[in-house]
Amino acid sequence: MNRMKPRQLVLLVIAACVAVPLVAAGCGGGSGSSSSSSETGSSGGGEKSPSGIEIPKATIGYVEPAAVDEVTNRNVSQLKAAAKELGWEVKFTNAQGDFSKVISAVEGDVNAGVDAIILGSTDAKLVRQPLLKAEQAGIPAIVIGGEVEEDPLYVAQYTENEPLMSTMLTEKMVEDLGGKGTVAAMEIGQLTSGITRAEAREEVLEGSGVELVDSQEGDLADPIQGTKKIASSMLSSNPGLSAMWLVYDYMMPPTLETMETMGDKTTEVYTWFAGPENVEKLRQNPQVKALVEDNFDHTALIAMDQLAANVAEGAEINPNALEECPLQYEVIEKENAPPPGELKWPLPENLAPFVANWKAGKFGQGAGCGPKNGEEG
């Protein structure tokens, strides 16, 4: 069912890189305890939101399995900002890597009668029972962020294009290496996004002249020390290694630390996401060559835009909305890196065209879409 109950509005999303011991949401490193919060707007049925948007009040249940990294928190910040503009309440839960809390949060949101559920980067099979309850209650569930398996329990899946990002990053690596050399890859085969990123990498490397000489599974249970151990093993076993390809960005800091400890000054590093901290490493460390980036928070905005159309007009949630108003992708190097402390696509600038549409009574139309990737503007 692609329509929320008229009485309510709740949104549940799990995005980007859910793991069993959920360490990589977007997927960066970090730590902290689980948390839950509720933020309420002042709009009621038939009233205007604080921003003057005419839309009924709604409640969104939003659950992130591990909002501990920079890229996932883009979605958290943007979704809350969008809800504030609409005058909606958000019941937010950061499970901080404890998957039992993800399940409990979804069940709690269903029992509370939210209007929609939004989940961040979570395969539906991992929360099947509460999602079935949501479906039976007529509460739509949407997943945002990183790629997950297709599943009808999600009325829409607004997630980034992992094969495209991996292809762009790997092609850049092959170009930098002049079409020859050796590469070691850290992978995460437990996650859908990790699997598809690795598959796309292999397609690019096949016949390229760049040889994959080592591939090891990252340690989700011990992301810092586990990554250091793997990096040490790769560097020791492959003297003169040309590059390291890291499937998730949380792997970069411990890998760079290991390189420094071992005196490696030549192996190049390629990984995901150009948040301020990663860009600073790109600027300061000549071994960090490229980061593949997107406007990740756009997945949250598309979800909120579709829910706004559902609430305001009774429109069905469009599962193809992100394809019609796609994410933007770019390989970031020193030359095109954003200014210190900033993003390539700043969050306020991403939100502004959506708010302008909502104030004009335009819901579910996307905003700030620009040309699709590969097309000329």
Q: What is the pLDDT of residue 15?
A: 32
- The one-letter amino acid at 108: G
Note the Cα 98 to chain centre separation in Å.
18
Largest CA distance in the chain: 68
Q: Give the whole-angstrom CA distance, residue 121 versus residue 193.
A: 9
Minimum mean pLDDT range among 19-33, 57-71, 132-146: 19-33
Task: Give residues with Cβ within 8 angstroms of 371, minimum separation 6.
Answer: 377
Q: What is the pLDDT of residue 24?
A: 42
Q: Tell me: pLDDT of 154 over 80.
A: yes
Q: Tell me: pLDDT of 9 over 80.
A: no
Q: What's this model's pTM, rounded to 2 decimal places? A: 0.89
User: What stretch of H or E contains 196?
Assistant: helix 192-205
Task: Give residues with Cβ within 8 angstroms of 144, minimum separation 6.
Answer: 13, 14, 15, 75, 118, 119, 120, 121, 158, 159, 299, 300, 302, 303
pLDDT band, very low/low/confident/very high, at 372 (cuts 50, 70, 90):
low
Q: What is the pLDDT of residue 39?
A: 65
Q: What is the pLDDT of residue 46?
A: 53
Strands (E), the chain: 12-14, 35-39, 59-64, 89-94, 116-120, 141-145, 156-159, 181-187, 210-217, 243-246, 268-272, 288-294, 329-332
In eight-state DSSP terms, residue 300 is H
- The one-letter amino acid at 58: A
Q: How many residues does the chain have?
A: 377
Q: What is the pLDDT of residue 28?
A: 41
Phi, psi (deg, nearest 5) at residue 222:
-140, 75
Q: What is the pLDDT of residue 68?
A: 85
Q: What is the pLDDT of residue 151?
A: 98
pLDDT digits (tens, 9 = 90+) for 229-248: 999 999 999 999 999 999 99
pLDDT band, very low/low/confident/very high, at 37 (cuts 50, 70, 90):
confident
Q: Tell me: pLDDT of 274 over 60.
A: yes
Q: Do the Cβ atoms of 43 and 37 come closer than 8 Å?
A: no
Q: Tell me: pLDDT of 2 over 90.
A: no
Q: Which residue has the tokens 């930098």?
A: 176
Q: What is the pLDDT of residue 374?
A: 53
Q: What domains can you pick out in the chain, each with its CATH number?
A: 12-160+295-327+347-359 (3.40.50.2300), 162-294 (3.40.50.2300)
Average pLDDT over residues 311-322: 98
Q: Tell me: pLDDT of 299 over 90.
A: yes
Residue with more model confidence, 17 or 51: 51
Phi, psi (deg, nearest 5) at residue 149:
-70, 145
Give the strand pairing for 210-217 and 181-187. parallel
Q: Give the whole-angstrom CA distance, residue 348 versus residue 336.
A: 20
Note the Cα 162 to chain centre separation in Å.
10
User: What stretch of H or E contains 79?
Assistant: helix 70-86
